[in-house]
Structures are given as C-alpha cells and as structure tokens.
Chains A and B, each alone.
Chain A
Amino acid sequence: MELIIILIEAVKNGILAILDLAVIIFPLMIVIEVLKDLKMLEKLTNLMSPLTNSLKIHKDSSLPLVIGVILGLFLGAGVLVKSVDEGNLDKRSLVIVSIFLALCHAVFEDTVVFVPIGANLLIVLLVRIISAFFVAIVASKFIKEMN
C-alpha cells in the first residue's frame, strides 16, 4: 500500500517537473529561433570563441554550452540533441561539451542553494568552473578525432 502511494507521488512530482520545464522550453526555443533569424547567434558564438577554441571544439558548441551552464543540464542536453540532429556537431565536440556540462551546469541555481549551510558561494562557483575547464582541457588533449 505504502509502495503505491510512493509511486503515485513520484509520478505526480515527475509530471510537475515536466510542466515546470515546459514553461521554460517553449519561450527558450522560440527565443533561440528568433536570435538565429536575426543572425544574433553568431555574436554569441564569437563571444564564446575563447572557450570553444581552447577546447578545440566546433564553434556551434557555443549555444548548448551557454544554455547548459546557465539553465541546466537538461535544457543544455535538449539543445545539444537538436544541434546533433541538425548535423552541426561532430562526435568529438559532443563528448567534450558533455564533459564540461556534466561538471558545470545551472551555475547560479546550483550555487545559491548552498546559502543555508553557510558555504562561500564565490569559492564554490569558481572552483567548479575551473575544475570543469581543467577536466575538459585534459579530455580535449586525449580525445582525438572520432566518428
């Protein structure tokens, strides 16, 4: 009996989380399309070129990186899958972007939550970003061309 209650609760929470996501996804994807048509995404790509160049990944990795770092892994992954479907991203870039985003995503939300325990937020944020960058750079050195 208790198990059924837990399952119902889990499904309910899951549906609520998906609805929460829907509220962000539709405006986000529309804004991305608008920015694309205004040729504004290229500016973002240029802005992110120091990161994509140092990781030696495709410049189209910029959008999923920005979305993931700010809005979280799920949305970053959604945009990433779309980029792959549209044929812009090579496998090597995909792996390196995944590594960076897995370590470093939703940086504001994931940092601010630690206010209640009295963590030093600036240190948490910086150490996380530097760690992700370091691991991604090392991965970039080791991962050669992939198919």
Chain B
Amino acid sequence: MISIDTFKRGLKKGFDVLILLGKIMLPIYVVVELLKYSGLLETISKLFIPFMSLLGLPGEAAFALIIGASVNIYAALGVLVSINLTAKQATIVAIVLSIAHNLIGETVVIKRIGVNPYFITGLRIITAFSVGTIMNLVL
C-alpha cells in the first residue's frame, strides 16, 4: 500500500539520482563547450569528408555529424539547416545522428553505470555508419 514512506523513498531516490547525474553533467558541459570553441571539431570533420559519399551525403554534412557526435543533435541541426539536403539525405543524416550523438556526455554516463564506455561508443559509431550506408542503398 501507499504510505508517506512511499513518497519519502521517491524523494530520497530522486535526490540520489540528481546528485549522481549532476556530478557528471557539469564537467561535461564545460568540456564540450571548450571543444566547440577550440576549432578542433572543424579540423576533425575535414578528415571525414571523403566518407560522406558512402552515406550519400554532401561533404559539408561531415561537420554536422562531427558536431552532433561530440556536442548534441541541436548543435548539428544548426549546421544542417544551412545545407541543401534532399528528403533522402535528410532522413539518412537524421538516422545517423539519432544513433550517434552527444557521445562525450553519454559516454561518461555509460562509464558511471559501470559498463566499458569505449566499447559502447565504438558500437554506436559503427552502427550509425553501417546503418546510414545501408539506408543509402535501400532508400
């Protein structure tokens, strides 16, 4: 049955989870923000331009994918709206980003759960790229 104890437990667990997530979120915000302003992401994205043809995307999409992978989907959208994409390209870029985004922040969360974060992050990148390539052939 529900008692006052139910709510006390809920509040206590809410507080525990908030502390847990807060402690990881704050450093993530700082690191990601610094990375965004460092210009490093532009440099990295240049290396990925040749691979964009596998996904059927224009070269500019590389920067959107890299910024999405390291910051988040919203940051990637800021880049994407300035690129002309066909409906097929928009769907492919959305699939790739929906699978692999905010990798720095979400990797720290995975590490906190106690699972190997490099394994999970590698899996996300490989899955996103493979599925994107398949969709380029299928759609």
Contacts and interface: CB of A to CB of B under 8 A. Distances in A.
B11 A34 contact: no
B interface bracket (residues with beta carbon within 8 Å of A): 35 or more
B120 A102 contact: yes
Contacts of B127: 103, 131, 135
A85 to B, nearest CB: 8
Contacts of B25: 14, 17-18, 21, 74
A interface bracket (residues with beta carbon within 8 Å of B): 35 or more
A21 B21 contact: yes
A14 B29 contact: yes
Interface stretch (A42-50, A53-61, A115-123): A115-123
A99 B114 contact: no
B14 A26 contact: yes
Given A17-B29, A81-B112, A117 B81 contact: yes
Contact of B94 (A38, A84, A117, A131): A117
Contacts of A128: 95, 98-99
Interface string A81-102: 1101000000000110011001
Interface in A1-46: 6-7, 9-11, 13-15, 17-18, 21-22, 25-26, 28-34, 36-38
B135 interface: yes
B115 A38 contact: no
B51 interface: no
B54 interface: no
Interface string A113-137: 1101111110110011001100100
Interface in A66-83: 73-75, 77-82
A111 B98 contact: yes
A95 B115 contact: yes
A14 B112 contact: no
14 contacts: A6-B34, A9-B33, A10-B30, A30-B14, A37-B2, A73-B106, A78-B21, A81-B17, A99-B120, A114-B94, A116-B77, A117-B85, A118-B85, A123-B139
